Amino acid sequence: MTSQLRESFGRRLADSTRARGPLCVGIDPHPSLLLAWDLDESPRSLERFAMTAVEALAGEVALIKPQSAFFEVYGSAGIAVLEKVIRESRQAGALVLLDVKRGDIGSTMTAYSMAYLDEHSPLASDAITVSPYLGYGSLAPAIGLAEQTGRGVFVLSRTSNPEGAGLQQSIHGSGDSVAQYVVDSAAETNRDAEPMGHVGVVAGATIRPGELDFSRLNGPILAPGLGAQGATVQTLREVFGPALPNVLPTTSRDVLRHGPDPASLRAAAHRVRDEVDDLFRG
């Protein structure tokens, strides 16, 4: 069922961020945001929210990141909206990073991979988030299919939620933290890729400066935590240091709260994007 895309995810991501900047904006139809937009919790309101965000943002930023859970909660009607978000965001020129955080073993992980990374799936996205906590090797089906189809995966390493610290900072058998082990495993997968590999990591913009060594990663770093979780654009250089050129700062609520007016959403995204661009050029 798979088909080969012409360029690697690393190349497509580099081209997209060069043209539009590195900002990633999430589409998270959280009930509180629906309420703030004077919408109810119905499939029709979900579609209005999500497609307004797509209209306003998908032509402006490098990556759109729909959070799958907020669509799944509506059942088949929500999945239909998610399919539309993916399709129309890509048509507008954005890369779609579907935030699903899937992680399993064997045939189950293969099935998840086919659902999100196979060209013929209605949920096919440019990249997905995955969880390595059944072992980094369990991600082989997703990593392999993503490479074959010109897509990417972002592996959870050091997440921005405080509950993750105890596990992710614990010591792995390698002698490094679990989070560092994930980064180093991704680096091994990406070795010799140009301009960078198709395996990224997720590392929150709220982590301690110098906590992780990204020097060998040769891949993108998805950095959630801007805005509502306390990180600022100004702290990105301090947290990521020399790895900053590969960072994809991520925000959702701080942009989405400016809806439902598309122009206001677009203006909010432009403000954050311009701040990020100034930092990266500085």
- 65 catalytic, yes or no? no
157 three-state secondary structure: strand
Nearest Cα to Cα of residue 221 among 9, 19, 16, 22: 22
Question: Distance between the two ends of the chain, CA-based, in angstroms?
Answer: 45
Distance in angstroms (rounded) separating the CA atoms of residues 23 and 124: 21
- Continuous H helices in the chain: 9-20, 31-36, 43-57, 69-72, 76-91, 106-117, 140-149, 165-168, 178-190, 236-240, 253-256, 262-281
Contacts of 252 (CB under 8 A, 6+ apart): 25, 26, 27, 28, 65, 67, 227, 228
CA distances from 147 to 183, 188, 193, 251 (A): 18, 14, 11, 27
List the catalytic residue out of 30, 87, 90, 101.
101
The residues assigned a catalytic role are: 101
